[in-house]
Structure formats: C-alpha cells, structure tokens
Amino acid sequence: MSAADTHATEPVTGGRPQLPSPLTTRPAAKRTGRAAGRSRQSRSLPYLLIAPALVVMIGVLGYPLVDTIVLSFQDERRNNLWNGVAAPWVGFDQYTSILGDSEFWTVVVRTVVFVIVCVVGTMAAGLLIALLMQRVSNWVRVTMSSVMIAVWAMPLLVATSVFKFMFDSDYGLVNQLLTRLPGVDYTRHNWFLNPTTGMGIIALLVIWGAIPFIAISLHAALTQVPKELEEAARIDGAKGFGIFRYVTFPIIKPVFIMTSTLSVIWDFGVLGQILLMRNGQPEQDYQLLGLYSYTQAFTVNSFSRGAAISVVTVLLLSGIAVYYLRQLLKIGEVE
Amino acid sequence: MSTAVKSGPAATDSAGVTYRTPKKNRSGWNVLGIVVTVLMGFPVYWMIITALRPSQEILSYHQKLYPSSVTFSQFKRAMDMPNFWDNVKSSVIISAFSVVIAIGIGLLAAYAIGRFKFWGRRGLIIALLVIQLIPATSMLIPIYIQLNKMGGLNEYWGVIVVYAASTLPFAVWMLRGFIVNIPKELEESAMVDGCSQMTAFRRVVLPLLAPGLVAASIYALMTAWNEYLFAYVILQDNDKYTLSIWLLKFTGQRGTDYGALMAGSILIALPVVIFFLFVQRKVASGLTAGAVKG
Amino acid sequence: MKRKLIAAIGVATMIAGIAACGSDKKDDKAAEKPADQTGTVTVWLMAEAQTAWPELVQNTTAQFKAKYPKVNVKIQYQQWSDKVQKLDAALSGSSAPDVVELGNTETQTYILNGALAELDKKSFQNSDTWIKGLEDTCTYQGKLYCAPYYAGARVAIYNTADFKAGTGSDAFPATEDELTAALDKIEAKKGGDKTYSPLYLPGQYWYAAMSYVKAYGGQIAKTDGTKWTGDLESPQAQQGIQHFIDLVKKYNHGDQTKDEADHANVMAHQKAGVIYGNGWEAGSVITPPNGNAKLKDVIKTATMPGPNGKALPSFIGGSDLAVVNKSKVKDLAKEWIADFTDEKNEAALVTKQTLPNNTKQLEPMKADPATAAAANAVPDAWFTPIAPGWAAIEKQGILKTMLLDILKGKSVADATKAADDKINSLINTAS
C-alpha cells in the first residue's frame, strides 16, 4: 500500500505538464506517448481511489448480497435461521411459485402504476421548483429551501401521522374543510375505502416527501449552468423554453437522470408509508412489491420467498437500470 | 451534446445570485415561490401546531387552523423521556461519522469514475446500481448476521458502516454527475500553473463541487438521522439508541401520544435544518472562492 | 402427588423469597454459591414495563441483586411495532436476549420453531392458579415454554352522564335487550349531534366481532387434533358476525370502517356513550395527555352484555415471559422470571388496572367496582386458535379484511368463505 502511494505521488512532484488519464481520449492513443512508469501510476491511481469504497461495500454488503441470492434457492424458515438447521435446497421452486401466483402479478402491475405516478409527479414538481428557486429573490429562496429541508427532515413516522390526521374520516381537516363548501358533505368520508383514492393519498405523501431531495439536487445542478451560455443563446434569439431545452437541460441532465432513476428505485421500495397509514396491516389492495416482499419474509415466515421476491424485483428494475446505464455511459464518455 | 456547453472558468457561478431574470419580473416569481412554500410547508406547520396545542385539540371533531392556546408541555414531556440526551449523543456520533465516511470515500470513487478510464469501471458502475435496487429491508437479517460475525452488534460502528455502505453508491453517483460537468481544462490549466493533480483537485474541482457535496451530504445526513429499523435491530442498549428509535416511545399499545410525538420530531429535525442553513451560506462563499482561484 | 406439589411450591416460594441455597438445585452451576455467581442476564421487556409499571422492574432488580450480587441484569425496553424483526434477527446471532416478553398470540411461533427453553411450572409462584387462557398459549405438547405475565379482558366502558340523561339511570344495563333500549333513548336525546355514537363499535374491531361469534357458539377455527380448518362459515359464526355488523351499522355514527385504535379518544371527546375496550382503557379516556380529565367521575366500566341473555365472552389478551433457548444463563433467566412474576409484583399490576396472571389474585378484583367487570370477564374468556400459523393470519389482517368487505357490501356468507380459504392456507404452517 505505501509503495503504491509513493508511486502515485511521484510524477506529481515532477510538475508534469500533461493530464494523467482523462476520459476524453481513447486510452490506447493516450498511453503511446507516455513513459512506462507514469502509465503504471495512472493505472493504479483510479484503483487507489475506489479502494476504500470497495472495502466498505464488500465488507458490509458482500455477504448479505450473496446470502440473499442463495436464500432464494432454499426454503429457509425461522427454524433454520435460529437453530442452525441447514435449509433445504429447492432450486427454482420459490421463483416458479411466485411467478405463477396471480396475486404477485397484480402487485407488480399496481407497483408499476404507482411508481410512474410518483416519479413523474416528483420529477415534474421538483424541476419546476428548482427552476423557480433560481428566479426568486434571495430571501424567498432561503425560505423555500428551509421549508424544503424541514419537510425532508420530518421523520417518516411523523409525516405519515400528519397526513393520516389530515385525511382522517372523523377528525380530519380535509373532510371538515370540504364540508364547509356549499352543497358538499364529506363528514365521515373515508378516503381509504376506495383503494384508488387511498393509494392517491399515499402517492401524494410520497411525492411531497421526495420533492425536497429532487428540488435541492436539481437546483444544485442548475448552479453549474454558466450564465454566459444562456445569455449567448438569448442573443442568438432563443426563447425561454428553447434555452432550457438546448442549453440548460443538457448540463443538468446527468443529475436529472440520476435523481429520476433513484426516484424509481426508491418508489419501488415504498413500505413504511403504507404500513403506517394502514395501521400496520395493509389490505391486499394496498400491497406494493417492497411491502409484499417484507410481508412474505416476516409475517408468512418464509425468508426465502421474501428473498426471491427481492431478486425478481431487482431483475424487473434492471430494465430501467440498463436504460440509465446507457445514458450514464454516454454522458460520461464523450466521444 | 453536452460538450457544447462546457466552456472555461465561466462555469463558476455563485449559487446565491439570480442572473437571468431582471429585477422587475421577480415579484411575480416571488409570489409563486411563497405559494409553493405554503403548500409544501403546510404539513410542517400542522406538525408544529400539533406540538404546541393542548392534547385535547389534536384529534378534535372541530379542527382549527391555529391552536386555541399555546403550551410547551409536550416538549417538556418529550424531553423528560428516559435516555433523551444519551440518544441525542448516539444520533450525533452515528450521523457525523457515516456522513464523513460516505462522502469522503464516495468523493474519491466518484472522481475515479468520472475522470479515469480503467478496467472494471463499468463493472463498478453496475455494482453500484444493483446495490441500490435491492430493497434494504430484505437484507436485514443477512446484514445482521454479517455484523454479528464482525462483532459490530450493539456498537456505533456497526450502524455507521451500514449507513455509510448504503449511502455510498448514491454519493458516488451524485458526485460523479457533478464532476462530469466540471471542465477538465480547468484542472489542466491549474496543473500547467504548476499545481499537482491533488492540489488542482483541491483548489479547482472541490469548490465547484460544493453544491453537489452539500446535496450529497444532506442526503447522507437525512438517511442516517432518520433511519430507525437497522439502528433498532443492531443496537441493543437503550442508551445507545438513536433519536428516531427514541421517537417510537410515543407510540405504543396504550395509545399514541401525538402531541409529544410531534414535539419530539421537531426537536429531532431542528438540528438538521440549522445545519442546512449554515451549510448553505458556506456553499455560496465556497463558490465565490472557487471562481477567484479558477 | 399432591404433597409433592405442595412441597415443590414451598421450595419455589423459598427460592423466590429468600436467598436459595445453591445445593438445593440440580443444575450446572450447582457447585457455585449464588453470591459468587457471575454473568449477565439480558431481559427484553415491552415499553409498558418502563412507562406504565416501572416499579416491577425496580422490585425485581433489588430482589435479584440481593441473591446474586455479582450477576448483572440488563433490561432493554422494546417497542411493539418492530419487535418481531429485531427478535427474529437476534435469535439468528449470538447476542440474543436471555429473557424475552412475547404477546400471547406470538408465543406459538417461537415455541414451534424451537426458540424457547422449557420451563418448570413449579418454580413460579401461584402457577397452580394461572389463568388457563394464558397458560395455554405457553404450552405445547404438555410442556411449558413461557410464564404468563399479565392479562387483559374487554369490558363495556360507558359515560354515566349520557346514560343518566338518556335513561334516567346511570347504571349499565345487564342484558343486551335493555342495552339497546337504553342506546335508543340516548340516541334520541343526543339526536342533534350527528357525530355522536351511542355505542361506538368500529367495523374492523375483530376482537369484538369474534366475541359475538363465540356468544353464538361459533369459533374462528376448529381442530381435529392434528389439522386446523377455518370455521367462520358455520351458521353460528355467521350469525355472530351478522349481529356485530348490525350493531355497528345501527349505533356507530362515526366512520364505521375504522378499527379500535382510537376508540378511547372518541370517548374522551364525548362522542360515544359506550365503547367495548380493555379494562385499562377506561384510564386512557380520563388521563391526560390524550384523555379528558373532566370525565374522571363520569366514566365507569361494566360487564358487556351479549346476545342470548348472557355476558359477552371477552378475548383474553396479555403477555408472557420466556427464556431463549440459546441463553447461556438459563437458570438465572428462569429465576429472574420467577421473581418478576411473583405475587408481590402481580399485586402491583392489579393497582394499574391490569389483570394478574393468576385467579387467586384475580378474585379480590371482583369485589372492587373499578376492576370487577374485567375480572369477571376472565372465566368465560376466549382465545385465538393455538395453531401453528395463527400469527401469520393475525398479522395479515385476514379477519379485518373480512369485516371490511362485509361493511362494503359483500354478503356475510361470501366474506366468511373467503376468510376461511385464507385461514386454511396459512393455519397449519408454522409461522
């Protein structure tokens, strides 16, 4: 390790006039003009940089990841877990039973619809708020971001409780306000009786809770947009939306794609909000994949089934992941 | 497409300055900004007045938008709960270390991914992605078993490494998105001026990364500050619990004490909001400094 | 046999009361004197032991320390919401607790999966008069795996002022017919308030619904000794469910589709004449912060009358204490439980409107008007099926879903059929 360190710093002290190993040019072309020692250094440097991250992640998550996959091919129950009794291997049984279960597919479809609604809602609102934050006076922006941070800092338990209060059938503010409108009686109206409105309220909670992260990240990205460029585009005759589309958006695109992908991933895993909103026992109509996997593992006592559902979820999500990866690699490696 | 916009040092811009909209148009935006603030902030407001109003008014059949009288008894009740200060200490230790570790290590890795091409880079990106796809709750027991082997149960570091490992992929991605946008010509020119690569990184890249670093650390902080399931399962002594576990004391079989719950969560959220306001000012000045040096 | 038992109880009392001699006990630590024994006993208790009755822990710690000055007792309080995950994880590792509190519908899961150590009934005070419903939850194939800790039974909690205003008397009716007549009168009196419910029975309150099933002679599930099957489709069970739904629809003027989570709050806001709740919930109604102190002298408890002129059979809930099989200090752990559930501590529970684990101490409660209703409910109480998969059925809310479906318009026959199918798919697999 220390030897490598010395290597890494060696060329630096030499006040080298050239770049180390930028991504812009093909590595092969670059390497030709270099001294062998420097080439070795530039090859080891990235590994040194990623080493700590790898150590932490493999150390903590390596075994659990492998174990989750192994579990999904077994039939592990509490008895196996607690008493060291080896769980029997069942091959693809968990998978065939899940994939052949119509309930599972209903949950998948419901999850996909829910995720689309939440992600589109979050990203649209987050982007608009980020753009708005650029246009307002300083004091308004500080107010906006403080409130946003306060929203973000609200623990899930509390945020969900507040929404539950507001939409409560008996003492909810929403019903009481709606009832004040002429000709409207929402007394005792239960928003959760109809799963569609119930899920709508949960989606509202999820979107509301995710907006701060998206808005703050996108706002941070927007500060990287050079104002000269936008000015130049304006002088060239570009209009508001055109400037956004051809000048602003390309710069924030990496962050936009990253945050939207993360939103997809997180919304796929929504669990706590539903659990708390439905008093810990969500009805069948409220099951989403994350919750479903959790329920199967902890209440139906099959850790293996829970694990298999997780693996299937990951595979389903990989479709989105592949799209993201292609975008990511495109942006990262400008040819 | 994105190369077109990557120009020289002009990319440095102060976060605090609005540059596009002429001043006269701003009042319209300001009004809109206030409307958005009110809509977003209403549940926060509701939390605050729930904490301040007498308990009897909370689940009332005649909701009012403001409390009839203000009481701080809920805050007192919350702070009188056993282990409050112990748990404050745990939360601070765990959050601080996991943020520093995740962001520090994440920045190095993000720089490697964003600036270098090396064997295994693609594999690493894919691994970072896949890790985030897995629902964390499904790994609860495997992670527990792993920590048990490592001796990390009931230890702060056990929770810290779990938080750091789970926010790392995100931090790497986030920071990478910002690094890609920093023209490497900037670094080059710094190195031409005789700076070493590390110095160039520190003097040129780091200030430009400030907004990204802040966004990523707030994310890591929020995760560590508010997560409770892993902390609850890993930590065993009541005085080692974090504040988010402490908060659960207000819910129980014998009813939920909503007033104290809301008061407790205000106490928990306050440091985060203050931290953010503090950091926000630093970011603005950090950017300006970057512009001068760049 | 009987003499043996008495002798055993005598020994047990001695162990619990005075410092026992090490030589009396035949265990691995027999050679060691109690005063020299070292180690740590880790105890997981639910939060009530910290908030509602902290003196039990204080008593026990003092008592235990007197016997084993070098043994360290670590009490860690848990929350009901995520305890299962924590315990499931802990049992897989090497740092499981030694003593753990379990809700009495959870115990079978842990017994069947071999997580708990066998206990000797004789080592617990008053174990010969343990409430049977609780003891049954600790027993599997004739062996005992946990000790009852406390119990809870459901009673009518009513607002005497509303009864006085409606019927002229603040006494609670003894039969259901008289009760409904009184409710009608109260309703007429309070007619102006559309949110007032003379009897507030939430529609998803399955513990109440199943009490009506029981009253008609039905049951949730039946067993032939080896296999369990859902029995909600039986005519008796359907009758009971219908009776419950009728009461909900007629007298609950709030949102009928809720569960019982906040019924004490409804009463505290004077929006209910009667609720059917745990004995201690009468205290929640009148105790701040959530309760309404103004109702202090107005709220009383009474036996809930059921159909057919009899009292409504109550569900008996409660908690048990068990020793984890992986524990390295099982004997100390067992003794800690014996100390914790001794007569003195159980007596302290009685003062908290909580039922003790034995009928001996329950008896005097019947004479006290504040606790009589709950104490009287114990002999006829019912319990959920002691079946391997019951915990999963409860956690998936199958009975709640059934009741909700009926309220939404499904026929009782269809809904009970669907519930039975679900129950049959889960009940025989250990959860």
**Is the predicted pLDDT of residue A30 greater than 50, yes or no?**
no
Nearest partner of B286 among B46, B11, B16, judged by Cα:
B16
Structural domain including A252 reads 97-332
pLDDT of residue B24: 59
**Residues C142 and C188 grouped into a single domain:** no
More confident residue, B143 or A261: B143
Is C46 found in the same domain as C22? Answer: yes
Side-chain-side CA neighbours of A2 within 13 Å: the count stands at: 0
**CB pair distance less than 8 Å for A169 and C254:** yes
**Do residues A196 and A328 both lie within one domain?**
yes
Question: Are A23 and A150 members of one domain?
Answer: no
- Minimal C-alpha gap between A254 and chain B (Å): 5
Residue of A nearest to B260 (CA): A158
The answer on A165 and A44 residing in a single domain is no
Tens-of-pLDDT digits for all 294 residues of chain B? 333 333 333 333 444 344 445 555 788 999 999 999 999 999 999 999 999 998 888 888 888 898 888 999 999 988 988 889 999 999 999 999 999 999 999 999 999 988 888 888 888 888 888 788 777 777 888 999 899 999 999 999 999 999 999 999 989 988 888 888 788 787 778 777 777 777 877 777 888 888 888 888 888 998 899 898 899 999 989 999 999 999 888 887 777 888 899 999 999 988 888 888 888 776 655 444 333 322
CATH of B74-293, one of 1.10.1510.10, 3.30.70.120, 1.10.3720.10, 1.10.645.10: 1.10.3720.10
Better-scored residue on pLDDT, B183 or C322:
C322
| Judgement on whether residues A193 and A246 belong to the same structural domain of the protein | yes
Instruction: Report ipTM (2 d.p.).
Output: 0.81
Smallest Cα distance from B254 to chain A, Å: 14
Residue B137: the pLDDT is: 79
Using the predicted structure, report yes or no on whether residue C126 has a pLDDT greater than 90. Answer: yes
Residue B177 CA to residue B216 CA, distance in Å, equals 11
Number of domains comprising chain A: 2
Specify whether C258 is located in the same domain as C280. yes
Same domain, C252 and C397: yes
Instruction: Tokens for A184, please give them.
Output: 């409207």
Q: Which residues pair with C73 in a beta bridge?
A: C41
Using the Cβ of B135 and the Cβ atoms of chain C, whether some distance falls under 8 Å is answered with: no
Residues A29 and A126 both lie in one domain: no
pLDDT for the residue A39? 52
| Average pLDDT for chain C | 89
Comparing alpha-carbon positions, the chain C residue that sits nearest to A172 is: C255
Q: Of B73, B233, B238, which is closest to C77 when you measure between CB atoms?
A: B238
B150 Cβ under 8 Å from any chain C Cβ:
no
Do A188 and A295 share a domain, yes or no?
A: yes
Q: Name the phi and psi angles at A154, rounded to 5.
A: -70, 120
Between chains, do C290 and B251 touch, taking CB under 8 Å as contact? no
CB pairs under 8 A between A and C: 77
Tell whether A27 and A126 lie within a shared domain.
no
Minimum distance, in Å, between the CA of residue B227 and any CA atom of chain A: 8
* Set of chain C residues whose Cβ sits within 8 Å of the Cβ of A83: 113-115, 325
pLDDT tens digits, A174-228: 999 999 999 888 888 999 999 999 999 999 999 999 999 999 889 988 887 888 8
**Domain assignments of chain B as residue spans, ordered by start:** 17-71, 74-293
- Tell if the CB–CB gap between B145 and C92 is shorter than 8 Å: yes
Check whether residue A109 and residue A206 sit in a common domain.
yes
Residue tagged 């649209």 (tokens):
A124
Same domain flag for C43 and C60 = yes
B188 vs chain A: nearest CA distance in angstroms? 6
Judgement on whether residues C76 and C172 belong to the same structural domain of the protein = no
- Average pLDDT of span C371-398: 90
Residues of B in contact with A173 (CB under 8 A): 46, 63, 65
Cβ pair B135, A266 in contact under 8 A = no
The confidence band for A329, taking pLDDT boundaries of 50, 70 and 90, is low
Is B270's Cβ below 8 Å from some Cβ in C? no
Residues of C in contact with B73 (CB under 8 A): 289
Q: How far is CA A47 from CA A25, A60, A173, C75, in A?
A: 19, 19, 56, 47
Q: Do B259 and C289 touch (CB under 8 A)?
A: yes
What's the structural domain count of chain C? 2
- Determine contact, residues A218/A259, Cβ cutoff 8 Å: yes
Best probe of the A interface among B116, B267, B268, by most A CBs < 10 A, is B116
Q: How far apart are the first and last CA of chain A?
A: 34
Q: What is the CATH number of the domain that holds C68?
A: 3.40.190.10
pLDDT in tens, B234-259: 998 999 999 999 988 888 777 788 88
Q: What is the pLDDT of residue B133?
A: 78
Range of the domain at C144: 2-152+316-377
CA distance C386 to C209: 19
pLDDT of residue C250: 95
In this structure, is residue A80 part of a structural domain? no
pLDDT of A154-166, one tens digit each?
Answer: 888 889 999 998 9
For residue C370, the model assigns a pLDDT of 85
pLDDT at C265 over 80: yes
| Gap between the Cα atoms of A242 and A228, Å rounded | 16
Do C132 and C161 lie in one domain? The reply is no
A50 plus A103 within the same structural domain: no
Are C22 and C61 part of one and the same domain?
yes
Q: Is C84 part of any domain? A: yes
Same domain, C389 and C248: yes
B151 touches chain A (CB under 8 A): no
Check whether C392 has a pLDDT greater than 60.
Answer: yes
β-strand partners of C321: C101, C147
Q: Do A190 and C84 touch (CB under 8 A)?
A: no
The number of CA neighbours under 13 Å toward the Cβ of C343 is 14
C334 shares its domain with C399: no
C-chain residue closest to A300, CA distance: C392
A273 and A182 in a single domain? The answer is yes
Q: Can you give the CATH number for the domain in which A326 is found?
A: 1.10.3720.10
In this prediction, residue B18 carries a pLDDT of 41
Residues of chain A with C-beta less than 8 angstroms from the C-beta of B145: 63-64, 67
pLDDT value of position A157: 85
Searching chain B, which residue's CA lies closest to the CA of residue C54? B82
Residue C11 sits in the same domain as residue C129: yes
Task: Tell which residue, C430, C399, C184, has the closest CA to residue A283.
Answer: C399
The more confident residue out of A328 and B266 is B266
Q: Grade residue C10 by pLDDT with cuts at 50, 70 and 90.
A: very low
pLDDT at C401 over 90: yes
Find the CB nearest C431 among A81, A193, A300.
A300
Is position A79 within any domain? no
- The rounded Cα C347 to chain-centroid distance in angstroms is 17
On whether any CB of chain A is under 8 Å from the CB of B148, the answer is: no
67-86 in chain B: CB under 8 A from chain C? 73-74, 77, 82
Question: Is the model's pLDDT at C144 over the cut of 90?
Answer: yes
Partner C contacted by A140 (CB < 8 A): no
Q: Is pLDDT above 50 for C4?
A: no
Give yes or no for B31 touching A (CB within 8 A).
no
Q: Please give the span between the terminal C-alpha atoms of chain B, in angstroms, as a whole number.
A: 24
Give a yes or no: residue C431 inside a domain.
no
With bands split at pLDDT 50, 70 and 90, how would you rate the model's confidence at A262? confident
Query: How far is residue B147's CA from residue A63's CA, in Å, rounded to a whole number?
Result: 10
Q: What is the rounded CA–CA span in Å between residue C126 and residue C171?
A: 35
**Vertex B201 angle, CA B197 and B206, to 5°:** 175
My answer on whether A191 and A109 are in the same domain is yes
Q: Looking at beta carbons, which residues of chain C come within 8 Å of B257?
A: 289-290
Q: Are C40 and C329 in contact (CB under 8 A)?
A: yes
The answer as to whether A82 is a domain residue is no
Q: Of the candidates A79, A169, A279, which has its C-beta nearest C114's C-beta?
A: A79
> Distance from first CA to last CA of chain C, Å, rounded?
37
User: What percentage of chain A carries pLDDT values higher than 90?
Assistant: 36
Interface residues on C facing B, Cβ-Cβ cutoff 8 A? 42, 46-48, 50-52, 74, 76-77, 79-82, 85-86, 88-90, 92-95, 195, 262, 264-265, 268-269, 271, 280, 284, 288-290, 292
Residue A105 and residue A221 in one domain: yes
**pLDDT at residue C23 is higher than 80:** no
Q: Considering CB atoms only, which of B60, B228, B253 is closest to C48? A: B253
Residues C11 and C87 in one domain: yes
Taking CA atoms, B141 is separated from A156, B31, B159, in Å, by 22, 50, 14
> Collapsing DSSP states into helix, strand and coil, what is residue A74?
strand
